[in-house]
Structure 1
Amino acid sequence: MAAWVIWLIGAVALAVGEVLTLDLVLLMLAGGALGGLVVALAGGGAVLQVLAFVVVSGLLLGGVRPLARRHLENRTPLQLDGIETLIGKTARVTRDVDHSGGRIALGADEWTARSQSSGETFPVGDTVRILQVDGATAVVGDALE
């Protein structure tokens, strides 16, 4: 079997292993294996191939991995995603809302809703504020709060 094929198999195996670990170490070693593959394709001997693997892996582990980890780990701490972005928005009641249910219109979307406490009711046409989202139901309160 040709040396470049062995390096290719090694690179693919390391990349697959990276998918399982998500630590960015095996991915950097896969890059090193690609360095060994290039040297093998260029006709370099086994010593040069291993040297290329060690050098490229070292550069990737020392230079690229810390930058990639910092980029992946430093998200904005209070970044809101998905339904969390709805909290605090106001909506119009389209079917009376009480603690057991109702409907609200939020832009072009219509949501099931319920009031936060059992004594609160909001008639059709009222403006309410979304306090939380519980599954597919918006928990709403008075918009003036």
Structure 2
Amino acid sequence: MEAWIIWLIIAAVLVIVEVLSQMVWTLCLAVGCLGSLVAALWGVGTVWQIVVLAIVSVMAFIVLMPLFKKWHDRRHKLESRDDRTGMDALLGRRAVVTETIHPGKLGRARIDGDNWQVRTPHDDSLVERGKEVVVIAYDSIILTVEPA
């Protein structure tokens, strides 16, 4: 079997491994194998084909790694958007107190036009009507808030 066919088979196997494992170095080795394939077609000896494999693989790693890192960071940033739904979407949101929160009692606050029952985490604090609060937790449909 000719050397270029062997390099082609190895490159194909490495590409399959890359698809399955998503390891950048296997793709770089596959690119190196393609470089060795070209060297084999030019009639270069086996030792030099291996040298070409090493050099092209390292060059591919130097070129491809920053590209894949940038792509991964951009993709990760899009996936890590705040996609919370339901009650979890209220955590960290700001609300305006519409009914004074007395110590140990429930008050009311408005978030995006919705009126919620609210309480403070410490039963000794009073939050006046019109003050801004931040939602820190919830229990059923009662929000726990603290002054912003």
| CA distance, structure 2, for counterparts of residue 70 and residue 143 of structure 1 | 36
Q: Distance in 1 between matches of 2:72 and 2:34?
A: 24
SS at match of 1:30: helix
Counterpart of 1:2 in structure 2 is 2
Match runs of 1:8-27 below 5 Å: 8-27=8-27
Instruction: Measure, in 2, the Cα distance between the counterparts of 1:76 and 1:17.
Output: 26
Equivalent residue runs for 1:55-74 within 5 Å:
55-74=55-74
Counterpart Cα distance in 1 of 2:66 and 2:112: 46
User: In terms of mean alpha carbon deviation, does 66-75 or 38-47 score higher?
Assistant: 66-75
For normalisation by structure 2, the TM-score amounts to: 0.52
- Aligned partner of 1:76 in structure 2 is 77
The gaps in structure 1 that reach 5 residues or longer are 89-115, 117-130, 133-141
What secondary structure does 2:77 align onto?
Answer: coil
- Following superposition, the deviation at residue 143 of structure 1 comes to 6.1
CA deviation map 1:43-102 (0-9, x unaligned): 11112211110000011122322331232134325436xxx59x69xxxxxxxxxxxxxx
- Report the secondary structure of 1:20's partner residue: helix
Q: In the comparison of the two structures, how many residue pairs are matched?
A: 91
How much identity, in percent, do the aligned residues show? Answer: 34
- AA matched with 1:33: C
Q: Give the number of the structure whose alpha-carbon radius of gyration is greater.
A: 2
- The unaligned stretches of length 5 or more in structure 2 are 91-110, 115-148
Runs of 4+ with >6 A deviation: none
Instruction: Give the distance between the partners of 1:65 and 1:36, measured in 2 at CA.
Output: 21
Asked whether 1:39 is paired with 2:8, we answer no
Contact 1:28 1:60 in 2 (8 A): yes
